[in-house]
Amino acid sequence: MNRKKSADADKLLEKLAVSSPNDAVKLLYLGAEDISELEGLDLSLLSEIKRGPKGEVELKFVNKLAIIRELIELNAAAAAQQAQGGGFYAALDKSARLLEGEKSNDV
C-alpha cells in the first residue's frame, strides 16, 4: 500500500475511533420534513440499518474496539518501519562523517 493510501486509511480509522453514534440515533427521529438535515449527520459508525415489518428499527455500528486495535497495530508497524529506516540513515550519516574526516586528514 502506498503512503497516501496508508495515510488515508489511518485518518479514516482515527475518525471512526473518535466518532459518536449520536447522529445515527438522531436519524431515527427525523421526520420527512427534516430530510434536509441528512447531509449534516455523521453516520460513519453506522454499518447497517434494518426496518422490520412492525416498524421496529435495528441499527448496527462498526466495532470501535476492533478499530482501536487496528490503529495500534498500524502505529506499531509504522514505528518499527521508521526505526529500521532510521538505522539505515544513521549508518549512512556516520559513514559520510567518517569519509569527511578522511578527506580532511588527506588535505
Instruction: Judge if pTM exceeds 0.85.
Output: no
Identify the CA nearest to 19 among candidates 43, 1, 39, 36. Answer: 43
- The residue with greater pLDDT, 39 or 104, is 39
Q: What is the pLDDT of residue 106?
A: 62
pLDDT tens across 6-57, in order? 777 778 888 888 888 898 888 888 887 888 888 888 888 899 999 889 988 8
Q: How many domains does the chain have?
A: 1
Contacts of 104 (CB under 8 A, 6+ apart): none
Residue-number span of the structural domain to which 88 is assigned: 3-106
Identify the CA nearest to 59 among candidates 70, 72, 68, 46. Answer: 46
Least confident span in 7-11, 59-63, 100-104:
100-104
> Sign of the CA dihedral 62, 65, 69, 72?
positive
Distance CA(106)–CA(57), nearest Å, equals 82
